[in-house]
Amino acid sequence: MTSLTTFYLSGIIGKEAFGADGDAIGVIKDLLVNTVPSGLTDPNNQLVTGVRLKIHKETKFYSFSSFRVVKAREKLNVSCTGLVALGKDDVDNGLLLVENILDKQIVDLNGRKLVRVNDVRLATLPTGTFAIAVDIGTEGILRRIGISVPIKSLLSLFNVNIAAKFILWDDVQAIDHSNSNIRLSKSYSKLHTLHPSDLADILEDLGKKSSMSIFSSLDEEKAADVLEELETHTQVHIVENMPVNKAADVLEKMPADEVADILDELEEERAEQLLKEMDTESSQEVRDLLEYDDDLVGSIMTTDYLSFSASKTVEEVLKELRLKKPESVELYNMFVTESNDELIGTFNLRDLVVAEPNESVSQIMKSHPLYLLDNQKTGAIAELVSKYNLLAVPVVDQNNLLQGMVVVDDVVEDLINKRRTKKR
């Protein structure tokens, strides 16, 4: 026997364990791992600590320390030197591989997508037995139904191999589990590193219960970024099922126009509850946007924009930008206004970067800028953006007072549809 024995969960589940006298003592139904995958380097995080054993008609948990797995001619033999009952705390703090991982959805962090676990690979070392990886490939399915060996032999005649697909245990993020004692802060820790768009895609593919669990584990900033990327029906589901105060905190971190779009889809009573819970300034911005009809420019403009006085110097503007750390879309186009918010010019980031530090905004701005009226029909947006190749357009009211801006991201789909129509 070597110091390392590797085997699969599917190969040990349903196996009989034999005592020192050679008699069968029970059937293995599940293995218990010390804790949920967390990405930490402590090897005990993946140690098999318990076994669910069926003896006659009773199923109980026992310590795995008295069990030994030996592989002989590709067959597994499991022996036990004595049954030691496992305490309730050890069971509650562990993760059952069959019940909580096998056939469940996990996140492939490298592929940034949901996959299903077909098998779990384990290894027995002198220090214990450990879960080392999950099998998400076709071979795992074939192994489960007992035809892996003949299929691989057949394919080898044609020089065809079944590609192995494994995810290391530390890179596993379990999603569809039922152990309520597993803390979300651990089980979802690595999900927080994904881009909001990728995490939104994963939430879209999950069931409602699981998507809510993950979303609730995010901090407010991350939650706001993810919520912004979700499809409307998922946004509505999440906002409807979150506590009002928590939902309001997240919505405050989002652009007002995005919040208005979400609230527009909610029941009036729920929307009003959220608006009352939000801080006064954020709430008022959203209320102002909700006043616009859906077919007007004002309904899709964002009120997050950057405006400066004409007398400011380039150096002062750059200093202010460093302090504010604005979102990238706010830098598409920056505006120059009088003290009463009247729009008198625009400039972009390139204008700012190539200018001398002591130059004034009035020297680099474009006077008589293109703009949209807040009460214009939304059809005017695509035409203006397409004709002048703009990334963002200021929106003013009838008195030429700056109200917000429309960014190209909000009209891309409309532009694509228009171009398709022209080609027909």
Question: Does some domain include residue 68?
Answer: yes
At 181, the pLDDT band (50, 70, 90 cuts) reads very low
If you search the block for the tokens 């171009």, which residue do you land on?
419
- Kindly tell me the burial class for residue 393, based on how many C-beta atoms sit within 10 Å of its own C-beta (0-12, 13-18, 19 or more): buried
In a shared domain, residues 122 and 202: no
> Is residue 210 pLDDT above 60, yes or no?
yes
CATH number of the CATH domain containing 331: 3.10.580.10
34 or 249, which is more confident:
249
Q: Looking at 291, 318, 334, which one is the last position of a domain?
A: 291
DSSP state of 46: G
* Per-residue pLDDT at 420: 47
Residue 182 covered by a domain: no
Q: Label residue 100 exposed, middle or buried (CB < 10 Å: 0-12, 13-18, 19+).
A: buried
Q: Which pLDDT score is estimated for 35?
A: 67
Claim to verify: residue 87 and residue 36 sit in the same structural domain: yes
For the purposes of burial, counting CB atoms within 10 Å of the CB of 374, is it exposed (0-12), middle (13-18) or buried (19 or more)? buried
pLDDT bin (cut points 50, 70, 90) of residue 219 is confident
Supply the CATH number for residue 60's domain. Answer: 2.30.30.240
Task: Specify if 301 maps to a domain.
Answer: no
Q: How far is it, in rounded angstroms, from Cα 62 to Cα 42?
A: 23
d(CA 360, CA 367): 14
Question: In terms of domains, do 163 and 36 share one?
Answer: yes
- Terminal Cα distance for the chain, rounded: 72
**CA-to-CA distance for 228 and 69, rounded, in angstroms?**
50
Same domain, 26 and 138: yes
Any residues with CB less than 8 A from the CB of 260 and at least 6 apart, and which? 286, 289, 290, 299
Q: Is the pLDDT of residue 50 over 90?
A: yes
Which CATH number goes with the domain that contains 248?
Answer: 1.25.60.10
Identify whether residues 156 and 204 lie together within a single domain.
Answer: no
- Do 325 and 406 belong to one domain? yes
* Residue-level pLDDT at 188: 60
Q: What is the pLDDT of residues 93-107, one digit of tens each?
A: 888 899 888 888 777
The whole-angstrom separation of Cα 319 and Cα 260 is 32
Domain count, the chain: 3
267 and 241 inside one domain: yes
Domain annotation covers residue 93: yes
- Does residue 320 share a domain with residue 210? no
- Whether residue 378 is contained in a domain is answered as yes
What letter does residue 376 receive in the DSSP assignment?
A: S
Q: Do 168 and 238 belong to one domain?
A: no
Residue 206 has what DSSP assignment?
S
Same domain flag for 117 and 238: no
- Which segments within 34-186 are labelled E, that is strand? 48-55, 58-63, 67-72, 75-80, 95-96, 105-108, 113-116, 119-125, 128-135, 166-168, 172-174
Q: Which domain holds residue 242?
A: 194-291
Task: Give the whole-angstrom CA distance, residue 132 versus residue 124.
Answer: 10
Write down which residue in 291, 315, 348 finishes a domain: 291
Which pLDDT value is given to residue 44? 61
Q: Residue 75: CB partners within 8 Å, gap ≥ 6?
A: none
Residues 143 and 78 in one domain: yes
Whether residue 298 is contained in a domain is answered as no
Question: Is 110:116 a contact under the CB 8 Å cutoff?
Answer: no
pLDDT tens for each residue of 312-351: 999 999 999 999 999 888 998 999 999 899 999 999 999 9
Question: Does residue 12 or residue 150 have the better pLDDT?
Answer: 12
Q: How many CA atoms lie within 13 A of 358 on its CB side?
A: 0
Q: What is the mean pLDDT of residues 140-152?
A: 74
Structural domain contains residue 297: no
pLDDT band at 186 (very low <50, low <70, confident <90, very high): very low
Q: Is residue 185 part of a domain?
A: no
pLDDT in tens, 250-309: 999 998 989 999 999 999 999 999 999 999 999 999 999 999 998 899 988 989 999 999
* Same structural domain, 26 and 164: yes
Give the number of other Cβ atoms within 10 Å of residue 159's Cβ: 6
